[in-house]
Amino acid sequence: MPDLEYIPGSCNIGKGEIRRRQIVAALGLFFSITTLIGLYIFDMPPSSRTAIFFPLMVASVGFIQSRSKFCLAYGFAGTFNLGMLGDIKRVASKEDRQADRVTALKILGKSLLLATLATAVVLVLPF
């Protein structure tokens, strides 16, 4: 039995999928921190700090998806999963698929903005 209800443009993942995105966010944060530590320990030039954008993007995508209860990949694919992991269903309505794509684009934009802002902070750190 689904633990949440599919709502076009609002909710396309259930508790198991939300947990997966929380794990992705935590891994992205872990790799962001280890990258930052590595940049500091090895006294890398400031231009190399931009490399932290990628793990920050992973963390941002995972975080925003888990908070939104919405998977951007499912939104682009026209699918959803509210039940057991792997139990992916197709979105039937064209209008619902369009609403999901709009939300997926918003999540992607928010993730890019968050990762960019965090990267900018790293770029100005005094080390």
Helices in the chain by DSSP H: which ranges?
15-41, 53-68, 72-77, 94-124
How far apart CA 118 and CA 4 sit, in angstroms, is: 32
pLDDT digits (tens), the chain, 127 positions: 456 899 999 999 999 999 999 999 999 999 999 999 999 999 999 889 999 999 999 999 999 999 999 999 999 999 999 999 999 999 999 999 999 999 999 999 999 999 999 999 999 988 8
CA distance linking residue 97 with residue 79, whole number of Å: 8
Taking alpha carbons only, the member of 18, 25, 7 closest to residue 85 is 18
The DSSP letter of residue 4 is: S
Domain boundaries, the chain: 15-122
Q: Which residues contact 64 (CB under 8 A, 6 or more apart)?
A: 107, 110, 111, 114
pLDDT value of residue 4 = 84
The pLDDT value given to residue 16: 96
Structure tokens at 95: 């209008």
| Beta carbons within 10 angstroms of residue 122's beta carbon | 19
pLDDT given at position 2: 53
The reported pLDDT for the residue numbered 46 is 87
Residues 115 and 53: their CA atoms lie apart, in Å, by 6
